[in-house]
C-alpha cells in the first residue's frame, strides 16, 4: 500500500507515464486492488482544490485505460460507473470522467442496470457546446460502444435515449467526431423508433449535407471529404421517414449548388429515393422530374448529366415498383407519371436538330434496363415517332438528326462490345427473335427501311451507316436475308472515289467488316467480285492515274474486308494469281516482236508498283489477323501455301538473267513482312519443317524445298550465301532473315553447325558487294539467333572476341568504313546478349570502350553504339520470342555510366573527351530519365562541356537530355540556379544561325531556353532578361519557320 501511495504521489509531482504503468502492473499481478487505488487517491478525489480533484479522476481513468477490461468484475464496474457519472456535474472533472467511462463501457462486466443511469447522467449534465473536441469525442465513443455491445438495453430506454442522443449530437462540427456521430445516427435510425423525433434527427443529419469540408494541408488525422460523405449517406437513406423532409432539401441544393454539389446531391437522391418509397416519389414527382430534366436537357457537364440520368433511373424504378395507372384503358403495369416522363422526352423529338432531342433519347435509353414493359413502350414510341418525322416532307432538312437519334436508340439495345462474337449470334436462320430481344420487333422493318433510304442522300449517308452498324450489333435483330439486303445497298459505295461518296468509305468498310464476321457469304457474293474485277491483269501505265487509283482503292477495301478465314483464302488465291501474271520476264533482244504476256522495260516500274500494292494489301490483312488478342486460327496454314509461292516468285527473279519484277528490293521488304507475320502466328510443329526446308534452300542449294517443289531454274544456280554471287541473290537474305526473327526458341536446329553458320554470315557481310540493306538484314538475323541460342554458340562468341576483334574491328590497317560496318555487327551481337543478361555481354561491351579510347572516327561510332545497346528495337521483342530480362537497362547503366564519367573526367581537351561525351549523351538519351536523375549534379557540367563540341547530333542529344530533366530539376532549383548564366548563354549561342547552321539544334536550344523561367528563381534569371530579349529578336529573322516560332514562344516567356 505504501508503494502504491508513493507511485500516486510521484505521478502527481511529475505526471510520468511510468508511474501509471507501475500501478497497472501491480493491479494486474494482484499486489493491489481497485479499492486500494481509490483509497490511495481518496484525498485527491475529494479535494476542495479543483486541480487536485481533476488530476485524481484523471489518474484513475488512466489506470482503467491501461488495465485489461476483461479482468474487471461486475461489482467493480458498477462502483466505477456510479463514481464517474456522479462526477459529470462537476465541470472540473467532467473530462477525465468521460474518458474513464469511454474505456469502462468496453468491459464485458458492464451491467444492463448501469446503462440507464449512466446515459441519463450524460443527457442531464453534459453540455456539448461548452466542451472541447477531445472531450466531446469521449461522449460519442461511449455511446458508439454501448450501441455495439448493449443495443437491446438502449432500445429498452425508448424515447428517453432517442431524444437524449439527438440533443447531445446537435451542433457538432468537428470531422473527427462527426465520423462517429454519423455511425451512431445510422444505427439509431435503423434500429429505433424515431417517429416522435423525425425532425430532430433530420436536423442532426441533413444539416451537414452537402459535405463541403476541405482538410487542412498536412492533416495528421487523414479525414477527407469523401470519408465524411461515405459516412453521412447511410444516415440520409436510413429511414423512409426522412422522405418528405429530405427530397425538398435535395431539390434546393440541386438548383443552387455548384457542379460538385449537384453531383453529390444526385448521388444522394439515387440512394435515398428507393428507401423513401413510391408514395413520396409520386407526391413529389413533378418537382423531382423538373429538376432532373433541367440537369439532363441543359447539363453543366458530362459527369453531372450522367449522375442525373442515374438518379432518374432510380426515381423511375421506385415508381414502377408500385405503378399507379392513369385513365382507363392504360396498361396497369406502367405508372402514369412514368408515362408522362416518356411523353415529355418524345415531345423533344419534335425538334430533332436540337440538343434537347438527344437528351430525351438518352433518358428513354436509360429506361431499357428497368422493366420489360417500360422498355417496350419507350422503344416502340421512340421508333414510331422518329420514323414519322423522317418521312414528313417538312422535316427533310432534319433527316440526319433523326437518324442520329435512331442510332442512339439502337446502340442502347446492342451489347457493349464493338463487334458481335461467335458465342453471341447476331442472326438466326429463321429470323426468330428471343423474347429478351423482342423490343424492336414491331418497328424493325420501318427502321431498316428508313436507314436504307438514308443511304441515298449525301447528308444522311454516314449517319445511316452508323445506324445500320448499330442495328446489326443487336443480337438476333436481323435475319440473314436482311443482312444480304443491307450488303447489297451498302456495297454500291465500295471501291468508289471518296469524293463520290462524301468520304464515307471508312464507315462503309467498317459496316461490311462487321457483317463479314457473321455472314461472309454475302460479301463473297455481292461485294468482293466487283473489287477483284477492279484489279487489272497488267499494270496500268505510269500516266494512267485513274486506273492506278482504282486498284489502290480496291486493294484497300479488300484488305479491310477479307480478314475472315473464308474471305481471306479467296483473297490470297486471287492476289497471288495477279502476282503470277506480273512475273513474266522482260523480252530479250532476239525476241521480235515480244510475246503479249511479256513486260517491256517501260512497264517494269508500274508493274513493281502494282505488285507492291498487292503485297502491301496482303501484309496489312495478315497484320490485322495476327494482331488480334486471339490471332485467327487460319493463319498458320499459309506457311505451307502462301510462303512457298512467294519464295518461288522472289527466288526465281533472283536467279533469272533477265529483269524480273520480284527482283526489286522494295518488293522483297514487303514479302519479308508477310513471311514474318505468318511465321509469328505459326506453332512450333510448323516451324520445324519450315526452317529445315529454309536452311536447305539457302545453305545446301535445295531451293525446291522452300518453293513447294516448283522452281524454273536449276537449283544449283541459287547460292545467295556465296560471297561472289549476284546482288539479286544476296538481296534475298532479307527473306531469310524475316523467317528467323520470329522463330520460336524451341525450334529444332542443328546446333553443332550453328556457330559455323554464324561465322560464315559475319564473313558474308564483309564482302565488298554487300549493300547496306543486306548488312542490316544479316545483323537482324545475327541478333535473333544469338539471343535465342547463346548457350549453343560458345565457339562463335569466342571467335568474335578473339579473331574477329583483332582481324577486323580493331585492325587499323583496313578502311574506316569497313571497321564501322564491323562495329555495327558487333553491337547487334552485344545487344542480343545484353537483353538476356548473358555473361559474355560485358566482354563485348568492354571492347567498345577500347575503341572509344582511340578517339578516332571508329571510336565515335562505338561511342554512339553504347546508347544503341539500351534502345528497344523490333527484332529483340517479346512478340518475336526473344529472351528479355527485366531491368537489363538499369543494370547496364549501373555498369557503364560510372566508367564513362571516370573516363571523361580524365581526358579533358582531347579527341577522347569528345568521344566519351558522345557516349555519355547517347547512353542518357537511350534510358529512362529516372535511372540517371539522382546523378544530375555530376552530369550537368559534363553536359555543358558537350555543348561546345562541333557535332550537331551531339548537341541535340544533350539539349534533349536537359529538356527531359528540367521538370525534375525544378524540385532542386539550386542545382539549376548554379548553372543559370552558363545555360542561358550557351543556349543563346546555339540558337543563332551564324553560330549553329543545323536548325535542329537551334530549335531545341530555344525550347530549352523557354523552359528556364519556369524552373529558375526570378532573382537569378532576371539579370539576363535584357540580353535574352535582345538576342531572341535576332532569331526572329531565322530562315526556318519552326525556329522563328520557338523564338516567339521563348520571348513571350521572358517578356512576361
Nearest one of 368, 354, 410 to 387, comparing CA atoms: 410
Q: What is the mean pLDDT of residues 921-933?
A: 84
Question: How far is residue 1007's CA from residue 984's CA, in Å, rounded to a whole number?
Answer: 12
Rounded CA separation 865/845 (Å): 9
Confidence of residue 424 (pLDDT cuts 50, 70, 90): very low
Q: How far is the CA of 886 from the CAs of 746, 790, 837, 874, 878, in angstroms?
A: 21, 18, 9, 17, 12
Residue 356 is predicted with a pLDDT of 94
Distance CA 1046, CA 1002 (A): 9
User: In angstroms, rounded to a whole number, what is the distance separating the alpha carbons of residues 749 and 755?
Assistant: 12
Supply the pLDDT for residue 432. 35
Q: 374: helix, coil or strand?
A: helix
pLDDT tens column, 873-924: 889 999 999 999 988 888 888 898 888 888 887 776 677 888 888 888 888 8
- For the segment 778-784, the average pLDDT, to the nearest whole number, is 94
Q: Please give the radius of gyration of the chain, using alpha carbons only, rounded to the nearest integer.
A: 42
E strand or H helix at 22: helix 17-29
What is the four-CA torsion angle of 999, 1004, 1010, 1013, rounded to 10 degrees?
-140
What is the number of other CB atoms lying within 10 angstroms of the CB of residue 218?
5
| Contact of 943 with 919, CB cutoff 8 Å | no
Give CA–CA dist 347/324, Å, rounded: 22
Mean pLDDT for the chain? Answer: 87
Residue 855 and residue 867: Cα distance in Å, rounded?
Answer: 17
H-type alpha helices, 322-371: 336-348, 355-366
CA distance 519 to 487: 10
Q: Is the pLDDT of residue 430 over 60?
A: no
- 53-73: string of b/e by CB count within 10 Å (b at 16+)? bbbbbbbbbbbbbbbebeebe
What's the pLDDT at 972?
A: 45
Q: What is the pLDDT of residue 52?
A: 86
Angstrom distance (rounded) from CA 221 to CA 894: 41
Q: Kindly report the number of other CB atoms within 10 A of residue 689's CB atom.
A: 13
Phi/psi for 202 (5° steps) reads -60, -40
* CA–CA distance, 506 with 499 (Å, rounded to integer): 13
Contact (CB, 8 A) for 871 and 849: no
Q: What is the pLDDT of residue 498?
A: 59
Q: How much of the chain, in percent, has pLDDT values that exceed 70?
A: 93
Non-local CB neighbours of 637 within 8 Å, separated by 6+ positions? none
Measured distance CA(850)–CA(868) in Å, rounded? 17
- Average the pLDDT over each of 328-337, 681-690, 763-772, 977-986 and give the range with the smallest value: 328-337
**pLDDT at position 529:** 93
State the pLDDT at residue 836.
92
> What tens digit of pLDDT does each residue of 98-108 get?
999 999 999 99
Does 676 score more than 60 pLDDT?
yes
Burial of 349 (0-12, 13-18, 19+ CB in 10 A): buried
Q: Which tops the pLDDT comparison, 607 or 3?
A: 607
- pLDDT exceeds 90 at position 610: yes
Using a pLDDT cut of 90, give the percent of the chain over it: 49
Is 60 exceeded by the pLDDT of residue 159?
yes
Regarding predicted confidence, which is higher, 434 or 606? 606
8-state DSSP, 526? I
pLDDT confidence of residue 421: 43
Does residue 948 carry a pLDDT above 90?
Answer: no
Residues 6+ away with beta carbon under 8 Å from 119? 143, 146, 154, 157, 160, 161, 164
Q: Is the pLDDT of residue 89 over 70?
A: yes
Which residue, 44, 51, 119, is CA-closest to 81?
119
Q: What are 66's three cell numbers? A: 491501461
- Tens-digit pLDDT profile for residues 834-865: 999 999 999 999 999 999 888 788 888 898 89
- Is the peptide bond preceding residue 593 cis, with omega within 30 degrees of 0? yes
DSSP letter at 494 equals T
**What pLDDT sits at residue 420?**
43
Phi first, then psi: give them for residue 210, nearest 5 degrees. Answer: -85, 155
Residues 6+ apart with CB under 8 A from 569: 634
Amino acid at each position: 500500500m505504501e508503494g502504491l501511495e508513493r507511485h500516486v504521489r510521484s505521478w502527481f509531482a511529475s505526471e510520468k507515464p511510468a508511474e501509471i504503468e507501475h500501478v497497472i502492473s501491480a493491479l494486474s499481478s494482484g499486489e493491489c486492488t481497485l479499492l486500494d487505488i481509490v483509497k490511495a487517491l481518496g484525498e485527491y478525489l475529494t479535494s476542495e482544490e479543483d486541480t487536485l480533484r481533476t488530476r485524481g479522476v484523471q489518474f484513475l481513468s488512466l489506470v482503467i485505460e491501461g488495465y485489461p477490461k476483461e479482468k474487471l468484475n461486475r461489482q467493480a464496474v458498477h462502483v466505477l460507473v456510479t463514481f464517474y457519472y456522479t462526477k459529470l456535474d462537476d465541470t472540473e472533472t467532467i473530462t477525465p470522467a468521460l474518458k474513464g467511462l469511454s474505456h469502462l463501457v468496453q468491459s464485458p462486466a458492464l451491467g444492463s442496470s448501469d446503462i440507464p443511469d449512466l446515459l441519463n447522467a450524460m443527457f442531464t449534465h453534459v453540455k456539448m457546446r461548452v466542451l472541447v473536441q477531445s472531450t466531446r469525442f469521449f461522449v460519442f465513443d461511449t455511446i458508439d460502444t454501448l450501441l455495439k455491445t448493449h443495443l437491446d438495453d438502449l432500445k429498452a430506454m425508448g424515447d428517453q435515449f432517442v431524444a437524449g442522443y439527438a440533443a447531445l449530437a446537435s451542433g457538432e462540427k468537428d470531422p473527427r467526431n462527426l465520423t462517429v456521430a454519423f455511425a451512431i445516427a445510422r444505427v439509431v435510425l435503423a434500429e429505433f423508433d424515431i417517429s416522435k423525433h423525425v425532425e430532430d434527427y433530420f436536423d442532426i443529419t441533413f444539416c451537414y449535407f452537402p459535405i463541403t469540408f476541405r482538410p487542412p494541408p498536412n492533416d495528421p488525422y487523414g479525414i477527407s471529404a469523401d470519408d465524411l460523405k461515405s459516412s453521412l449517406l447511410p444516415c440520409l437513406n436510413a429511414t423512409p421517414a426522412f422522405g418528405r423532409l429530405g427530397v425538398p432539401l435535395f431539390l434546393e441544393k440541386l438548383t443552387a449548388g455548384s457542379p460538385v454539389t449537384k453531383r453529390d446531391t444526385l448521388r444522394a437522391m439515387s440512394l435515398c429515393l428507393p428507401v423513401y418509397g413510391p408514395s413520396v416519389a409520386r407526391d413529389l414527382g413533378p418537382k423531382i422530374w423538373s429538376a432532373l430534366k433541367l440537369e439532363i436537357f441543359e447539363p453543366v457537364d458530362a459527369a453531372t448529366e450522367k449522375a442525373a440520368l442515374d438518379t432518374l433511373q432510380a426515381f423511375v424504378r421506385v415508381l414502377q415498383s408500385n405503378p399507379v395507372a392513369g385513365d382507363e384503358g392504360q396498361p396497369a403495369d406502367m405508372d402514369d407519371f412514368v408515362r408522362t416522363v416518356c411523353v415529355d422526352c418524345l415531345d423533344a423529338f419534335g425538334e430533332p436538330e436540337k440538343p434537347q432531342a438527344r437528351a430525351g433519347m438518352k433518358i428513354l435509353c436509360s429506361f431499357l434496363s428497368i422493366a420489360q414493359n417500360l422498355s417496350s413502350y419507350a422503344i416502340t414510341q421512340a421508333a414510331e415517332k422518329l420514323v414519322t418525322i423522317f418521312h414528313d416532307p417538312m422535316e427533310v432538312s432534319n433527316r440526319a438528326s433523326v437518324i442520329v437519334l435512331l442510332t442512339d436508340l439502337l446502340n442502347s439495345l446492342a451489347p457493349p462490345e464493338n463487334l458481335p462474337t461467335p458465342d453471341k449470334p447476331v442472326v438466326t436462320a429463321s429470323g426468330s427473335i428471343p423474347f429478351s430481344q423482342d423490343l424492336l420487333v414491331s418497328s424493325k422493318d420501318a427502321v431498316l427501311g428508313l436507314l436504307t433510304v438514308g443511304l441515298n442522300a449525301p447528308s444522311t449517308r454516314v449517319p445511316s451507316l452508323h445506324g445500320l452498324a448499330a442495328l446489326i450489333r443487336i443480337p438476333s435483330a436481323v435475319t440473314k436475308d436482311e443482312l444480304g439486303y443491307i450488303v447489297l445497298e451498302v456495297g454500291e459505295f465500295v471501291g468508289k472515289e471518296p469524293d463520290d461518296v462524301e468520304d464515307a468509305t471508312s464507315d462503309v468498310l467498317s459496316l461490311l467488316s462487321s457483317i463479314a464476321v457473321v455472314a461472309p457469304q454475302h460479301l463473297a457474293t455481292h461485294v468482293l467480285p466487283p473489287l477483284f474485277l477492279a484489279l487489272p491483269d497488267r499494270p496500268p501505265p505510269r500516266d494512267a492515274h485513274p486506273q492506278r487509283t482504282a486498284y489502290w482503292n480496291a486493294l484497300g477495301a479488300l484488305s479491310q474486308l477479307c480478314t475472315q478465314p473464308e474471305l481471306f483464302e479467296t483473297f490470297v488465291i486471287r492476289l497471288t494469281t495477279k502476282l503470277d501474271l506480273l512475273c513474266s520476264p522482260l523480252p530479250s533482244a532476239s525476241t521480235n516482236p515480244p510475246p503479249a504476256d511479256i513486260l517491256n522495260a517501260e512497264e517494269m516500274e508500274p508493274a513493281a508498283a502494282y505488285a507492291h500494292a498487292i503485297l502491301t494489301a496482303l501484309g496489312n490483312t495478315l497484320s490485322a489477323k495476327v494482331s488480334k488478342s486471339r490471332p485467327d486460327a487460319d493463319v498458320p496454314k499459309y506457311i505451307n501455301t502462301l510462303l512457298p509461292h512467294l519464295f518461288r516468285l522472289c527466288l526465281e527473279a533472283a536467279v533469272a538473267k533477265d529483269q524480273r519484277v520480284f527482283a526489286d528490293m522494295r518488293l522483297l521488304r514487303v514479302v519479308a513482312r508477310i513471311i514474318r507475320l505468318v511465321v509469328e502466328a505459326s506453332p512450333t510443329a510448323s516451324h520445324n519443317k519450315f526452317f529445315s526446308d529454309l536452311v536447305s534452300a539457302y545453305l545446301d542449294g535445295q531451293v525446291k524445298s522452300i518453293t513447294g517443289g516448283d522452281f524454273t531454274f536449276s537449283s544449283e544456280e541459287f547460292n545467295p550465301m556465296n560471297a561472289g554471287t549476284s546482288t539479286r541473290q544476296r538481296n534475298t537474305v532479307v527473306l531469310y532473315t524475316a523467317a528467323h526473327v520470329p522463330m520460336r526458341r524451341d525450334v529444332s536446329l542443328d546446333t553443332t553447325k550453328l556457330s559455323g553458320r554464324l561465322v560464315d554470315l559475319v564473313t558474308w557481310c564483309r564482302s565488298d558487294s554487300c549493300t547496306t540493306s543486306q548488312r542490316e538484314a544479316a545483323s537482324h538475323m545475327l541478333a535473333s539467333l544469338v539471343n535465342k541460342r547463346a548457350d549453343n554458340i560458345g565457339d562463335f562468341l569466342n571467335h568474335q572476341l578473339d579473331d574477329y576483334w583483332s582481324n577486323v574491328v580493331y585492325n587499323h590497317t583496313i578502311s574506316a568504313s569497313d571497321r564501322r560496318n564491323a562495329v555495327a555487327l558487333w553491337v547487334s551481337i552485344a545487344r542480343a546478349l545484353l537483353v538476356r543478361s548473358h555473361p559474355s555481354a560485358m566482354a563485348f561491351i568492354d571492347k567498345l570502350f577500347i575503341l572509344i579510347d582511340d578517339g578516332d572516327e571508329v571510336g565515335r561510332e562505338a561511342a554512339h553504339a553504347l546508347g544503341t545497346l539500351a534502345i528497344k528495337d523490333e527484332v529483340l521483342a517479346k512478340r518475336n520470342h526473344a529472351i528479355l530480362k527485366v531491368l537489363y537497362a538499369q543494370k547496364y547503366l549501373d555498369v557503364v555510366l560510372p566508367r564513362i564519367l571516370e573516363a571523361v573526367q580524365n581526358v579533358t581537351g582531347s579527341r577522347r573527351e569528345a568521344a566519351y561525351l558522345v557516349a555519355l549523351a547517347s547512353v542518357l538519351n537511350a534510358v529512362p530519365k529516372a535511372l540517371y536523375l539522382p546523378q544530375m549534379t555530376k552530369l550537368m557540367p559534363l553536359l555543358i562541356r558537350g555543348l561546345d563540341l562541333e557535332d550537331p547530333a551531339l548537341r541535340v542529344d544533350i539539349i534533349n537530355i536537359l529538356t527531359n530533366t528540367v521538370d525534375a530539376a525544378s524540385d532542386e532549383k539550386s542545382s539549376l540556379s548554379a548553372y543559370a548564366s552558363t545555360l542561358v548563354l550557351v543556349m543563346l549561342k546555339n540558337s543563332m544561325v551564324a553560330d549553329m547552321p543545323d536548325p535542329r539544334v537551334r530549335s531545341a536550344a530555344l525550347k530549352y531556353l523557354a523552359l528556364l523561367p519556369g524552373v529558375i528563381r526570378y532573382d537569378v534569371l532576371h539579370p539576363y532578361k535584357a540580353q535574352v530579349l535582345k538576342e531572341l529578336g535576332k532569331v526572329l529573322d531565322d530562315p526556318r519557320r519552326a525556329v522563328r516560332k520557338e523564338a516567339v514562344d521563348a520571348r513571350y516567356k521572358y517578356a512576361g
